[in-house]
Amino acid sequence: MGKKLVMLPANEVDLTTVKYVPEKFQAPHLTGFWIKLFVKVMEAPLIGSLIAHHLKQKNGITEMVKNTVIPEVPMFIPEFPLQEPEPGVVCLEEEGKPEERVDLALKCLPHYDPSSRWSSDSGEPFQFRYWKIRDYGYAYRSKLTTPSMVAEHFISAMEVLYNKDPSVPLLISFDPKEVRRQAVASTQRFEEGIPVSILDGIFIAVKDDIDCYPHPSKGGTTWFHEVRQVKADAVSVTRLRNSGAILVGKTNMHEFGMGTTGNNPNYGTPRNPHNPKRYTGGSSSGPAAIVASGLCSAALGTDAGGSVRIPASLCGVVGLKTTFGRTDLTGSLWEAGTVTVIGPITATVEDAILVYAAILGSSPADRIALNPSLPCLPDLSSNESSNILGSLTLGKYTKWFNDVSSTDISDKCEDVLNQLFHLYGCKTTEIVIPELRELRTAHTVTFGSELLCSLNPDCEDGKGVRLTYDARTNLALFRSFAASDYVSAQRLRRRIMYYHMEVFKKVDVIVTPTTGMTAPEIPESALKVGETNIPVVACLMQFAVTANVLGLPAISIPIGYDKQGLPIGLQLIGRPWCEASILRLATAIDEISAEYRKKPIRDKNCHLALLVTVHVFLLTAAWNRAGYWKRQRSNNMGKKRVMLPANEVDMMAANYTPQLIQGPHLTGFWLKLFVMLAEAPIIGSMIMFLVRNKNRVTEMLKNTVIPEAPMFIPEFPPQESEPGVFCLEEDGRPEERVDLALQCLPDYKSGCIRIGDPSAPFRYWKIRDYAYAYRSKLTTPSQEKHFISAIKEFNNKNPLAPLLISYDPHEVRKQAAASTQRFEEGSELSILDGIFIAVKDDIDYYPYPSKGGTTWFHELREVKKDAVCVSRLRSCGAVLVGKTNMHELAMGTTGNNVNFGTTRNPHALDRYTGGSSSGSAAIVASGLCSAALGTDGGGSIRIPSSLCGVVGLKPTYGRTDMKGLLYHGGTVASLGPITATVEDAILVYAAILGSSPAERVSLKPALPCLPNLSSCESWFSLGSLRLGKYTEWFNDVFSTEISDKCEDILNQLSEKHGCKTIEIVIPELPEMRTAHIASIGTEALYELNPDLEDGKLARITYDSRINLALFRALTATDYIAAQCLRRRLMYYHMEIFKKVDIIVTPTTPMTAPIIPPTALTVGETNLRVSGNLMRFILAGNLLGFPAISVPVGCDKQGLPIGMQLIGRPWCEASILRLAAAIEETCAGPKKKPVQFYDILKGNQIARLPATNSYTCEFRRLQD
C-alpha cells in the first residue's frame, strides 16, 4: 500500500486517543541578498518545483493532500448546522438601513456617563485611555468640538508624521481635501441637528484591499491599481458612509495580504505603537496601528488567516472577524475567497459593536448559499446581561492553549479565565480538537490557491516581478498546488468542521491566546528587501486559522502585556452566526482588562490633539511618495481578457461559436507512444500545455479576469412551485414514495400485454407489465430464469463485450425467490418488488466489488455495504442483478473498456453505446432489465441513453444521496435511473431520491415532486410550459436528421398541447465546457489520489491515462477560476429560466459512433468525438440542473436519436411531465434493437383481457 494513510471517518475518531503534536515548520529565515537569491531559484522552472516539493514534504503538506485517503466529501464553503438562538440579544435587519442598525446597536450598550469619561480622580485632567465613539458623539453634540476641528487636528498629525525621519506610512493613500470635505458635511449635519447616526463624524480608515472611492486599491503593491480601477465604494464602505463616518484614506498592509508581520518595503513597514522596533502584525498592519495610535476610532480590515486579529493582538486593540458571509465582500480584492471576511479593528469592544452593526449584511449570493440566521447583538443594557454571561461555557484545549513562545501569554490568558469564573461564574471545560496540523494544511492550500486565482492573470502578465520578494516566495509555493490538492483541503475542512461542531455541543465559546508570540522584532535588512520567516508566520497564525477555514466568528481582546511591555491578546471563537455571544464575553473581558491598558510609546516632541488629547508616537506616515503615486499605467496589458460582470452582458447580442475540440485521434501503437510522451516530466508538460492552449483552456482559466466570485457547488435561488404535482417526503420510506409515484401515473390497461403475437408492434415491457403478471400469477420473479439464460447466451456470443462485469446467478435466484415468497404471502413491498434492476460498477452493491471499470480498484476499496440508493431499491423489493460495465473510471463518453471488453450498442453492434454508463444503458435497451442505475458527471446517463434509444434521468445535483459511490465527493455528478420508458423512470426515481444530510444543509433542497399524470389537469399544466430553444446551438449537429427530428417533436407539442417554444441565447458555451473539464477532472483526480501515486497508474488503460495527464496539469487556481465561470453561467441560465420553464436541445449532436477495431484491444483517444457527444449536456452537470434524455426516433441508419430537456433547479416534475408527453407523441411503432431479449416470452402468457385501473387493483392487493 506504499505510504498511503487511510483516515477513519471523523465520526469514528476516538477523541481520547488524540495526541497533541506541537507545530514545527521547517523553512529558511531569509532576508537581504539571500532572499533575492532564493526567489530567483524558486521561480526557476525545474529547480523551483523541486524546492517547493521539498518544502511541502518537510512540512507534511504532501502527505496530507496527496498521500492520504480522506473519507469525507469536500466542503468548499463553510456549511453550518442550525444553531440554537442566543439569549438576551437584539436582532437586526440585514436589509435595513445601516444607520438604523447602528441606532439599535447604540441602545444595546450600557448607559453612557459623560462624567466618568471626562473627569479624572487622579488629579490629571485626562489620564490615558482610548476615546470611544460615544465620547466623540458626546463632544460633537455638546458642541465641545466639531468634526471639522477634529479633521484639522488629524491632518496636522499626518503632516507631522509625514515629515519625520524615517518616514513610514500608516496611510498610503490620503487626501486632506477629501477629509475636510467629509468633515464639513458632518459638521453641517450636527449644526442642523440631523446627524445620521452615532458614527457621524467618526474617523475611520480603510485597508488598502477594500475599495474606498476615489482612492485606488493597491493591495499594498505599487501596481495593482494599474490593472484594477476603483469605480465605487465597497459595500461595507458604502454602509459606513451612509452612517456618516469620515473615511480618512487607505492604510498600509502586508503586500497582497501574504504575511502576518505587516512588512512592506514598497511604502515602508508600520511600526508597533508599543515598540517601534517590533512589527505590528499583519496583514492589516496599518488599520491596527492607526487605531492603536489614537488617530482613528476604527478601521476596516480583512481577515483570511488572522489578518484582523493578529495585528489587533500585537498592537493592543480589538479585532473582530465575523462569521463567513456575515459581511459582504463585494468591492474588496478578495471577494472570491472562502476564508476571507471584512471586520472592524477598534480601540474598544463597544466600538466594535457599533461599526459591526453598520457593515454587516450578507451578499445576495451568500444568502442563498449560507442561509445566515438573523444578525444579533448582545443586549448589554439589560440587567440580565451578567446572568446570561455566567451561563456561557468556555472550551479550552490546554495543550494547545499552552503551546506558546512565552508563559507570559498563557498565564495572562489563564488569569482572565479565572477572573471570568470568579466574577461571572463562566465555567471553563476541557476540550480536545483533533488534526490541528491538518487544519493548518487545509488553510495554506485553500488561502494560497484562492489568492493566486484572484491575482491571475495579472501576475502572469509581467507584474509578478514588481512584487516584493517575500510575496514572490509565497506565490511560487502557491503555484505548486495542484487542483486535486485544493479538493483534498476541502475534504479536510469538512472533517475539521465536524470536530468543532461536536465541541460546540458542549461549549459556547472556544478560548485561546490570539497569537503564539508577542510582536516579533523587525530585522533592519527586512525594511528594504523584505523577509521570509515561515516559523514566525506560523507561530502568529497558530490559533487564528481555525476561524478562517471553518468560517467561525472570532474576536481578539487585549488583556495585558508581557515582561517586555508588548500587548497580549485573548481570542474567543464562537458558534456560527453567534457574534452576540463572543461580543458579550469580550465586553466583560474588556472591562476586566481596562485598568491595565498602557499608553503606547510616543515621541516626546509630538503631542497632538484630535479630540482633547491624542497620543501620537514614533509611528510615521508617508503618502504621495515620489515613485509610488506617479507610476505610469502600463500600456502593455499582454493577452489578458477582462470579462464584464455577467449582469452587464447583453445576452441577446452574444454570438454563437461552434465548439470545435482540438485533439489527436489515436489508437493502437500511436496511442501507446502518446501516453508515454504525455507522462514524461518535461515533454508531457509541453504537450498538455499545447492541448490546453489549442482548446483555449489556458486563455479562459489563466489569462482572463473573471469578476464573479467562485461557486463551488450549485447555488439555486428559490423556485416557484410547479403546478399539478404530488410532493414526496424525502425522509419517508422508499416504498411509500414509490406507492405515491404509482398514483401519479395514468390508468394501466393490461390489454396491451400480448405475448407471442408476431403482429404486435415492438415495445419494451414496463415495470407495471411485470407487476401485473406477477400479481395475476401468470409468472413469478423466480420463474424469470430467462434472464439468467439470456445472460449466459449473451456472454457466450459476446465474450469480449459484457453487459455485467460482476454477476452471480445464485444471488439473483436468492433475491427472486424472496420476492416470489412475498407475492405468495400477499406482502409484496411495492410496485418494484421482483423488478430486475442493474447497478453501474461505480455504485456500491454488496457483496459485489466496485471496480469502476478497472481491474484493480476493488483491491484498495472494500465494499462493506450497499450505497444509499441501492439500499433504497432493496427496501422496495427490487431484484438487483449485478454490476454493469462502464467506461474505465468514468473517464470517457464512448463506453470503451479494454479491461472487460467494450459493450456494444444493441441497435448496431459495430457502434459504441456511449458512456460512461455504457452497460447500464445497453442492458435496459436489450430488454434484460427494466431499469439500471447510472451516474452522470458529464452526460454519463443521458449520452448512452440517447445512443441506445432509452430514457436517462439526471436529477438536480443533491437530489439523490451519493454516499456509497466511487465519486461521492464531486460537485458535478448525480445518480439517476436509466429505463425503457418515462413512467419507469418516475417509479425508480421515486425510490432512490433523498438528499444526504450534508446537502440538506448546503443546498436546502425543495420538496421533491412528481407530475400528476393521472389527472386531466396534467395536460393543461403541460400546455402552460414554455420551452427555450437556442436555435444556433440546437442546429449545431453532425446530421440535420437529429435537429429535424427534435424540431418535429417541438412542433407536435405545440399542436397537441399548446407548448410554446421561445428563442433564447446562452452566452459563453465554450467557457462552460472549460469549467466542466477543470471541475470534473480535478475532482476525479482527487478521488484517485493517492492510489495513482501508489503504483496503480500503469494498470490503467491508455485513454484514461491521457485524461489523467491532462487533469494533473490543472492547478488549484485553474479549478477556482472554473468555479468563477460556473457562477457566471448560473446567472445566465437563471435569467433564461425567468422566461422559460425548460431548455430543449438534442441530447447529442451525433448518433452512436463506430468502434475502431484496434480500440477494442488498446483503447482510443478521440477528443473530438468525446467533446461533441458532451456538447449539449454540460449545463446539467456544471450547474446541477435536472435533465432527461427521451428517445424521439432513429436516423436513416437506424441509430437512435435522443432529445434533452433541461429544467429549473428541483423541478424534475416539469421535465418528467414533458418527457411523458414526448414519449406519447412518439408512441408509434418502434425499431426493435438488433440485440434484444424478451424474458417474458417463454412463460406462455396468453393475451390478457382489459381490466380497470391497475393502480386501484394494486392498492387493494396491498391492503
pLDDT tens, 209-234? 999 999 999 999 999 999 889 999 99
- pLDDT of 750 reads 65
Which candidate in 186, 307, 488, 1079 is catalytic?
307
Q: What CA–CA distance (Å, rounded) separates 878 from 870?
A: 9
Domain membership of residue 244 (yes or no) is yes
What's the whole-model pTM score? 0.88
Domain membership of residue 1100 (yes or no) is yes
Has 207 been annotated as catalytic?
yes
pLDDT at 612 over 70: no
Has 381 been annotated as catalytic?
no
pLDDT at 206 over 90: yes
Which candidate in 132, 207, 840, 1096 is catalytic?
207
- The neighbour count for residue 599, using CB atoms within 10 Å, is 14
Residues in the chain: 1263
pLDDT tens column, 6-20: 999 999 999 889 999
733: its cell numbers: 420510506
Give 246's strand partners: 203
Which candidate in 173, 186, 236, 283 is catalytic?
283
Assess contact for 600 and 316: CB atoms under 8 A.
Answer: yes
Torsion of CA 575, 580, 586, 591, to 10 degrees: -160
Choice between 20 and 384, residue whose per-residue pLDDT is larger? 20
Domain membership of residue 1003 (yes or no) is yes
pLDDT at 497 over 80: yes
Spatial CA neighbour of 229 closest among 245, 243, 216: 216
Query: What CATH number is attached to the domain comprising 951?
Result: 3.90.1300.10
Provide the pLDDT confidence category of residue 629 given band limits of 50, 70 and 90.
very low
| DSSP letter string, 609-676 | -SSS-B---S-----S-TTTTTPPPPS--TT-EEPPPGGGS-GGGPPP--------EEEHHHHHHHHH
Choice between 28 and 105, residue whose per-residue pLDDT is larger? 105
Domain membership of residue 676 (yes or no) is no
Average pLDDT along the chain: 90
What is the extent of the structural domain holding 388? 89-596
- Phi, psi values for residue 911, rounded to 5°: -115, 155
Assess contact for 933 and 843: CB atoms under 8 A.
Answer: yes
42: its cell numbers: 524558486
Across 20-42, average pLDDT: 91
pLDDT tens column, 697-753: 988 998 898 999 899 999 998 888 898 899 998 888 999 999 999 999 999 876 555
Among 19-28, 59-68, 553-562, the range of highest mean pLDDT: 553-562
Provide the pLDDT confidence category of residue 795 given band limits of 50, 70 and 90.
confident
Q: What CA–CA distance (Å, rounded) separates 235 from 95?
A: 12
pLDDT at 1229 over 90: no
Residue type, 894: T
- pLDDT of 1260 reads 37
Q: What CA–CA distance (Å, rounded) separates 320 from 323?
A: 10
Domain membership of residue 721 (yes or no) is no
Q: Which of 540, 572, 596 is the last residue of a domain?
A: 596
User: What are the angstrom distances between the C-alpha of 655 and each of 79, 518, 652, 1135?
Assistant: 38, 58, 8, 17
Q: What CA–CA distance (Å, rounded) separates 919 from 925?
A: 10
- pLDDT of 607 reads 34
Q: At what angle do helices 767-775 and 1254-1262 cross, to 10 degrees?
A: 50
Give the count of domains, the chain: 2
Domain membership of residue 711 (yes or no) is no
Q: Which of 573, 596, 619 is the last residue of a domain?
A: 596
pLDDT at 195 over 90: yes
Domain membership of residue 462 (yes or no) is yes
**Least confident interval from 364-368, 747-751, 1124-1128:** 747-751
**Least confident interval from 463-472, 979-988, 1063-1072:** 463-472
User: What are the angstrom distances between the C-alpha of 998 and each of 79, 326, 609, 1169, 1177?
Assistant: 8, 21, 55, 36, 26
Q: What percent of the chain has pLDDT over 70?
A: 92
pLDDT tens column, 644-694: 999 999 999 999 988 777 888 999 999 999 999 999 988 988 998 898 888
Provide the pLDDT confidence category of residue 23 given band limits of 50, 70 and 90.
confident
Give 1026's strand partners: 1060
Q: What CA–CA distance (Å, rounded) separates 208 from 220?
A: 6
Domain membership of residue 406 (yes or no) is yes
Has 307 been annotated as catalytic?
yes
Q: What CA–CA distance (Å, rounded) separates 849 from 804?
A: 12
pLDDT at 1102 over 50: yes
- pLDDT of 166 reads 63
Residue type, 552: L
Provide the pLDDT confidence category of residue 796 given band limits of 50, 70 and 90.
confident
Q: Which of 567, 596, 625 is the last residue of a domain?
A: 596
HSE at residue 72, side-chain half, CA atoms within 13 A, is 26
Q: At what angle do helices 809-825 and 786-797 cross, to 10 degrees?
A: 160
Assess contact for 5 and 67: CB atoms under 8 A.
Answer: yes
- For the four alpha carbons of 7, 9, 14 and 19, in that order, the dihedral sign comes to positive
pLDDT tens column, 264-306: 999 999 999 999 999 999 999 999 999 999 999 999 999 999 9
